[in-house]
């Protein structure tokens, strides 16, 4: 299972200052995304995930220069979420240096746009879903009744989506549900966020989740990256 560091970018900078040596006073803090990405790649990261926070608000990619700087200085895939709402937005992200994108749950209700995005990104497109039942129920769906997450995932796979990112916010991932979904769905499952520790990482590995995307827990030092890699192996 992959452990994928995530960096939230706003105004070209990381939302969280990264200082891996803070407890001992070693090294120096940085909020430059390319430097943070370099440090994680040097430590063994096989992919870097970025959330374009300005892009998420604007509905189109904004922090393209920051993405480009990271792509130039690292030799691993760069995945971008936030602002990936159209085929043109994905083209801009790819031109900047991204190699994978995560589109929002909104595209699950817009099959025409989803197919346009798939035509550009193919298997490197993932759809981000919020698995919390209250969030799915509250979403303004263009259908008579809110779908279940299982039905929604099945619809997306039928449309050709091969990667799903389940974003848990600050909640604990439902491991039983994820195990059943991983067993039955024909797509790679990635877990993003949530209240995660080393034991949770081991359990996610054991139920065949493809990867876990971690931002603040890694950047703040709450979860040690080396230990996370070992737990996921």
Domain 2-232 - what CATH class? alpha beta
Q: Based on C-alpha coordinates, what's the Rg of the chain?
A: 17
- Residues 127 and 132: their CA atoms lie apart, in Å, by 15
Query: Among the residues of 43-194, which ranges form H helices?
Result: 53-58, 64-73, 87-96, 111-121, 133-138, 149-159, 175-184
For residue range 51-88, list pLDDT tens digits in order.
999 999 999 999 999 999 999 999 999 999 999 999 99
- The region, left, alpha or beta by phi > 0 then psi within -120 to 50, assigned to residue 17 is beta
- Please give the structure tokens belonging to residue 203: 């359990």
- At 81 the pLDDT is 97
Residue 174, pLDDT above cutoff 90: no
For residue range 133-169, list pLDDT tens digits in order.
888 888 888 888 888 899 999 999 999 999 999 998 7
- Residues 67 and 93: their CA atoms lie apart, in Å, by 8
Residue 221, pLDDT above cutoff 70: yes
Average pLDDT over residues 114-123: 98
């Amino acid at each position: 299972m992959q452990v994928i560091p995530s960096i939230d970018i706003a105004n070209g900078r990381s939302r969280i200052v990264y200082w891996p040596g803070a407890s001992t006073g070693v090294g120096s803090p940085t909020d430059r995304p390319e430097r943070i990405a370099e440090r994680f790649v040097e430590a063994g990261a096989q992919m870097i995930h970025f959330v374009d926070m300005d892009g998420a608000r604007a509905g189109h990619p904004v922090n393209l220069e920051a993405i480009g700087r990271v792509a130039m200085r690292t030799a691993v895939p760069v995945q971008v979420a936030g602002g990936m709402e159209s085929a043109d937005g994905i083209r801009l992200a790819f031109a900047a240096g991204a190699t994978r994108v995560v589109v929002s749950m909104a595209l699950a209700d817009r099959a025409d746009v989803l197919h346009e995005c798939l035509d550009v990104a193919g298997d490197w497109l993932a759809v981000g879903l919020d698995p919390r039942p209250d969030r799915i129920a509250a979403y303004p769906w263009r259908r008579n009744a809110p779908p279940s997450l299982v039905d929604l995932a099945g619809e997306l796979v039928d449309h050709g989506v091969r990667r799903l990112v389940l974003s848990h916010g600050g909640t604990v991932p439902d491991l039983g549900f994820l195990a059943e979904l991983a067993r039955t769905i024909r797509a790679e499952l990635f877990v993003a966020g949530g209240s995660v520790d080393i034991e949770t990482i081991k359990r996610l590995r054991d139920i065949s989740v493809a990867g876990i995307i971690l931002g603040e827990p890694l950047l703040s030092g709450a979860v040690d990256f080396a230990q996370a890699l070992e737990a996921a192996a």
